[in-house]
Structure 1
Amino acid sequence: MAASPLPPPSQRPSSTSGWIGALERTARIDAQPERIFPRVIDELATRHGTAPALIGTDETLSHRDLAARQNRYARWALARGLVKGETVALLMTNRPDFLAIWLGLTRVGVRVALLNTNLRDRSLAHCIDVAAPRLLILEADLAEAVASAQPHLAKQPDIVWQGPGAGGPSLAEAAAGYSEAPLQAGEGPAVTVRDEALLIFTSGTTGLPKAARVSHHRIMMWTHWFAGLIDAGADDRMYNCLPLYHSVGGVVAPGSVLIGGGSVVIRPKFSASAFWRDVTETGATVFQYIGELCRYLTVAPPDPFERRHALRLCTGNGMRPDVWERFRERFAIPRILEFYAATEGTVSLYNVEGRLGAVGRVPPFMARRSPALIVRHDVETGLPLRDAAGRCVPADPDEPGELLGRLSAKAEHSFEGYTSAEETSRKIVRDALQPGDAWMRTGDLMRKDAQGFFYFVDRIGDTFRWKGENVATTEVAEVLGHCPGVLEASVYGVAVPGSEGKAGMAALTTGASFDIDALHAALAEGLPAYARPVFLRIVQDFAHTETFKQKKAVLAAEGFDPERIGDALYIDRDGQYRPLDPATYAAVGRGDVRL
């Protein structure tokens, strides 16, 4: 396979400058174990004072304001009787206060579970039950989401309201009287980088969302490493419209720029029509993307602001090669920094050279620090292939295989795992290359070319990505199973021409009480928009394996082409499922139908 071209030398950063910057920024983390990120926020307040830090739609916090607010929240937590190791769940939309809350609570050893604001019903209840929080900090505007989950909760946490319209005294009001000064020695428990800070939910490769444990060390590594990679400075302004409950949107994007003394523009969500004007008028210099956002922008109508921006860098993951070139050329983007990482992962890759389509590489001088290995994948078992000696088989150059990350006692290479010991164990491969070694499974198929660049191929297992989110088929199938008239459901992803990832499709066997309009309403109530099946197929029966597992591969391969499929097909359009005929199928293929 031919290597993808690099940008012209005049447009490329030094092949080592980003790595050196990252190494320099992270050099002191292990040597200063009590210097956790909230303490860094206090340092930044002293250094940058009234310079803006977080710029929301309703308020702007300076570096000093952010430190003051986190410290008031920390003292509120102590006064409330929260102790080190207890969990508080946080359900809020994107706003500066979101960051101030988790920073303050984690400063005194409380673990904060960041809940997905798109979840409802059983899905949200599952996440709350997994976190087992003592308190739930709830934005008043999201009260309906929690109300839908409450009938399914194993235990009801006490609710602390935040924001206007609260059902009781707000957190802001309760914390207002506490001191904003940095916490003094002995004021609260000792907290180090080895302590847990966050629970961040990820679908992973199978099942319902899993709660990944995130230590203070991980937060420090993420923020400082990326600050070095992007060379963050006080004149930088990050445009961030990604969810703050995700690791990239809520930790990496804001933290990496704050460390340099810059500021973060926080927006509630992405808007293709408003994007370029907002980026231009806010003076953003850096944009944190996921690939799907960039695709939306490249197919949007011309915008008078699309080349007036001050962006020097766009950084993120999931940028397809065909989108990459169009995005860079149409919008005059000086540099794209693609990377690969996972919330719970132990291996990260960074494309500092700008290789088109690559997710990164491990330079030779970093090989011992950040080892990554691609091994052959056994399609039948879903596990790494083993040879006659029981060892994993490294993949050849350009051969797809599963990416593994070596585990060690070093904090940066330790797998912090999930709240579930079973899920944690499932991610670890032992005795892979030699007796006693251990590696973490990423669940991603990758290939590596002869020059050492890694390229993403696909997800392993049933989970697929749509709209920048991982969709677990078992979660969707569970909601479908509660819908009247649905006897059995098989959920899978199907490729759609011109779209990032795979769209959800569900094949159903149905009974006499089945009502397709009621089904649509139930899915809209029980699932976030990105997880709802775009296509439906009504089948007479399913083919099963000898162990009664559905044979999804055949269904996925057949896709949603009415010329190939005799079953009734439907597409989600204009708020309902409509019959999918050949004309509509052709329109989807041309990109005339927005999914």
Structure 2
Amino acid sequence: MNIQARPATDDALQTRRAQPSVAKSWLKAIEITARVEQEPRRLLATVVDEWAAVAPNSPAIVSDRDSYSYAELARRINRYARWALENGVGIGDVVCLLMSNRPDYVAAWLGITKVGGVVALINTQLVGASLAHCIDIARPGHIIVGEEFVDAWESARAHLGAAPRIWLHGETSGDKALDQALAALDSAALTPQEQRDVGIDDLALLIYTSGTTGLPKAARVTHRRVMGWAGWFAGLTDAAPDDRMYNCLPIYHSVGGVVATGSMLMAGGSVVIAEKFSASRFWDDIIRWDCTLFQYIGELCRYLLQAPPSDGDTRHRLRLCCGNGLRGEIWEPFQARFAIPRILEFYASTEGNFSLYNVEGKPGAIGRIPSFLAHRFPAAIVKFDVETGGPLRDENGLCIRCARGETGEAIGRIGEARDSGGRFEGYTNDSETEKKVLRDVFAAGDAWFRTGDLMRLDDKGFFHFVDRIGDTFRWKGENVAASEVAETIAACPGVIDASVYGVSVPHTDGRAGMAALVVDERFDLAALHRHLAERLPAYARPVFIRIQAALQITGTFKQNKQDLIRDGFDPVVVSDPLYLGDATAAGYVVLDEPLHRRIAAGTLRL
């Protein structure tokens, strides 16, 4: 189907470009999500059916590759549902999905989950043993592999514990050809005999953690969670049928795959799916598709801000961008340069049991919990001991709440099974699930979810992200928050990007700070030293500097620091330029092999 742009009228768009009242945003989200509890058999696939009935020709999902109206998407979902039924996929049975960003990806998981199947959304960047690990922990009976990932699949086969049946998406013939199997199936609404008793408490998806601190874990995502994410974001973004969401994020992840797509489908709007993010093509796409919203994550906004200015920077008709990970130091420059009327920053994790939303648009904050919603988002910040990796406890063995302005670990109270405000659905591995549960927190017998994130609460009640536990390290008897140091470094002229981490040094306690930098021709090492000396205490300034051509990031724009930590600061191991902070020289000096030997022997004091 050739779906044309369906722009909002100028008057309607101008009205909705204006900042809505905070109360209105919350009330709309509450109204939408309340229906989730009232209709426990209504799934996201059901919502698509509803829109197909009232607006069959309206665009649901569009892309350069292919597109679906709501009626076409509903029919495609029904084909996938029948494919699952025909191939013996029962309620709770798993199908893995290894496919690139495209409309049929969404149709596949909506269809399979409509009849009770569970779809594991596999990271398309994985190969070999890592890919096999993610497949094995899902225990699938089937795997759908896009034709572009056949080589990746082959690289994993030798490492698999058990081999699921493979279906090739894009193949037109043969017993593995999924397209051929789907074409033979009816696309009409499911008959009563075909329908399964699937509700919001049934498992829908397995979505994997990023694997930046070890092998990925598969988080369990129920239909309740899918509908909740879709509903909250449809309400808080004030989404409507004339909206178009630009989504260039990987749809194997919860933000790109469920939040961005689900919120638009919930509202009857359109999702524009790009196969991947491109800073040079981003604004052309926004303008070409006449998008009114876009979803960001991690460093995407920084990459856009680093791109050369162009005429397309402000020729769009965006009214809002929504996402998480927009650093405080680039918030206002980003919003000003690209004329973004409203930014909705939020905090959430795939497995987490509470979310935060910065509805007010306060730069640098990740959200605030209104008093009337405290029962839906039961969060607290407790004092944290970096050395033990756990919370500090008082003389009664209970955790200690942080004061305003004090940094600690954010935790969420785990509620009853039907309490949508505090549900923790865990991972496929029970032992990994238990590691995330903190018990006897404020009272004997209570249980709270550990986010693994350090935060602080300001005097206005806004939460601010400080660092990931594990990224924070201890040096010279002080705690160093890697993300705060990275933000300070990134503000130095000539620094394009920075990754900060702690490295072990022989004959010393704690971990010394090290920064891997990507720089341009403006960068000056002496200027960096002065910049840091003026802004950071001595213990927080990086001891070691590594200059790289590019930082290693995950598909969801998170920095992958494990290889950097493993490499350390040995010039024999690291071919990139290395530098050491030298107090006597009042600057950074080249770290060569003789200097490294002195550090390793403990004869050079850092």
Match of 2:437 among 418, 428, 438: 428
SS, match of residue 192 in structure 1: coil
Deviations 1:257-309 (A, max 9, x none): 12111101000111111111110110000010014111011111011111100
Question: Which residue does 1:7 correspond to in 2?
Answer: none
State which of 198, 203, 215 in structure 2 corresponds to 1:196: 203
How far apart are 1:36 and its partner, in Å?
A: 1.3
Residue 462 of structure 1, CA deviation: 5.4
Shift in alpha-carbon separation, 1:205–1:368, aligned structure 2, 3 A: farther
Where 1:16 maps in the other structure, the secondary structure is helix
Consecutive unaligned residues of structure 1, counting only runs of 5 or more, are 1-9, 465-491, 510-523, 543-554, 571-595
Q: CA shift at 1:147, angstroms?
A: 1.3
Asked if the contact 1:140–1:167 (Cα under 8 Å) also holds between the matched residues in 2, the reply is no
C-alpha distance after superposition, 1:92-127 (max 9, x if no partner): 000000000000000111110000001111111110
**Alignment partner, residue 39 of structure 1:** 46
Amino acid aligned to 1:352: V
Whether the 8 Å CA contact 2:172–2:179 is kept in 1: the answer is no
Please give the residue correspondences for 1:228-239 in structure 2 after superposition, counting only pairs within 5 Å: 228-239=235-246
Residue deviations 1:34-93 (CA, integer Å, cap 9, x gap): 111111111111122011111112111001111100001101111111111110100000
Contact 1:508–1:539 (CA<8 Å) still a contact in 2?
no
Q: 1:185 deviation in Å?
A: 2.5
Contact residue 301 and residue 326 of structure 2 kept, 8 A:
yes
Determine which of 156, 169, 175 is the counterpart of 1:162: 169
2:563 matched to 1:563? no
- Residues 569 and 255 of structure 1, relative CA distance in 2, 3 Å threshold: farther
In the superposition, the TM-score normalised over structure 1's length comes to 0.79
Q: Which residue of 2 aligns with 1:358?
A: 365
Moved more, 417-426 or 79-88: 79-88
- Over residues 234-261 of structure 1, what are the superposed CA-to-partner deviations in whole Å (9 max), with x where a residue is unaligned? 1100000000000010001011012111
> Of 428, 440, 463, which residue of structure 1 is paired with 2:449?
440
**Aligned counterpart in structure 2 of residue 300 of structure 1, from 286, 307, 323:** 307
Secondary structure (helix, strand or coil) at the match of 1:152 reads coil
CA gap 1:168/1:326 in 2 versus in 1, 3 angstroms: farther
State the partner residue of 2:462.
453
* Larger RCO, structure (CA 8 Å, separation 6 or more): 1
Per the alignment, in what secondary structure is the counterpart of residue 445 of structure 1? strand
Deviation at 1:317, TM superposition (A): 0.4
* Structure 2 CA distance for partners of 1:272 and 1:503, relative to 1, 3 Å: farther
Query: For residues 60-139 of structure 1, what are the structure 2 equivalents within 5 Å?
Result: 60-139=67-146
Measured in 2, the distance between the counterparts of 1:463 and 1:397 equals: 20
2:281 corresponds in structure 1 to: 274
Q: Structure 1 CA distance, aligned partners of 2:336 and 2:36?
A: 39
1:49 corresponds to: 56
CA distance in 1, matches of 2:188, 2:357: 38
Q: Distance in 1 between matches of 2:188 and 2:234?
A: 26
SS of equivalent to 2:37: coil
- The code of the aligned residue for 2:388 comes to T
List alignment gaps of at least 5 residues for structure 2: 1-16, 474-481, 491-495, 507-550, 574-578, 597-606
Q: Is the 8 A contact 1:314 1:337 kept in 2?
A: yes
1:72·1:178 contact (CA, 8 Å) conserved in 2? yes
- Contact 1:508-1:538 within 8 A present in 2 as well: no
Verify the 8 A CA contact 2:172 2:180 in the aligned structure 1: no
Q: Please tell me whether the aligned partners of residues 172 and 178 of structure 2 are also in contact (alpha carbons under 8 angstroms).
A: no
- Deviation of 1:504 (Å): 7.8
Q: Secondary structure at the match of 1:450?
A: coil
Task: Give the superposition deviation at 1:186.
Answer: 3.2
2:159 aligns with 152
**Deviation of 1:385 (Å):** 1.1
1:346 aligns with 2:372: no
Taking the aligned partners of 1:285 and 1:540, their CA distance within structure 2 comes to 49
**Are the structure 2 counterparts of residues 29 and 448 from structure 1 closer, same or farther at C-alpha, using a change threshold of 3 Å?**
same
Partner of 1:588: none
- Give the Cα–Cα distance (whole angstroms) in 2 for the partners of residues 556 and 208 of structure 1: 32
Deviations 1:408-438 (A, max 9, x none): 1134121100001001001011110011211
How far off is 1:501 after superposition?
A: 6.9
Cα offset for 1:207?
Answer: 2.7
Q: Distance in 2 between matches of 1:186 and 1:165?
A: 29
1:287 corresponds in structure 2 to: 294
Give the stretch that moved more between structures: 493-502 or 340-349.
493-502
Q: Structure 1: which amino acid aligns with 2:387?
A: E
- 2:384, 2:504 → 1: CA distance? 27
Match in the other structure for 1:589: none
1:502 aligned partner: 499
Contact 1:292 1:500 in 2 (8 A): no
Q: Comparing 232-241 with 429-438, which one deviates more in the overlay?
A: 429-438
Question: Structure 2 residue aligned with 1:323, among 326, 330, 342?
Answer: 330
Q: Which whole-Å CA distance do the structure 2 matches of 1:63 and 1:378 have between them?
A: 51
Counterpart position of 2:423: 414
Contact kept in structure 2, 1:71 and 1:179, CA below 8 Å: yes
**Which residue identity does 1:98 align to in structure 2?**
Y
Distance 1:173 1:201 in 2: 29
Q: What is the letter of the counterpart of residue 164 of structure 2?
A: P
Between the aligned partners of 2:51 and 2:27, the Cα distance in structure 1 is 22
Q: CA deviation at 1:565?
A: 4.1
Instruction: Tell me the secondary structure at the aligned position of residue 138 of structure 1.
Output: strand
Displacement, 1:15? 2.2
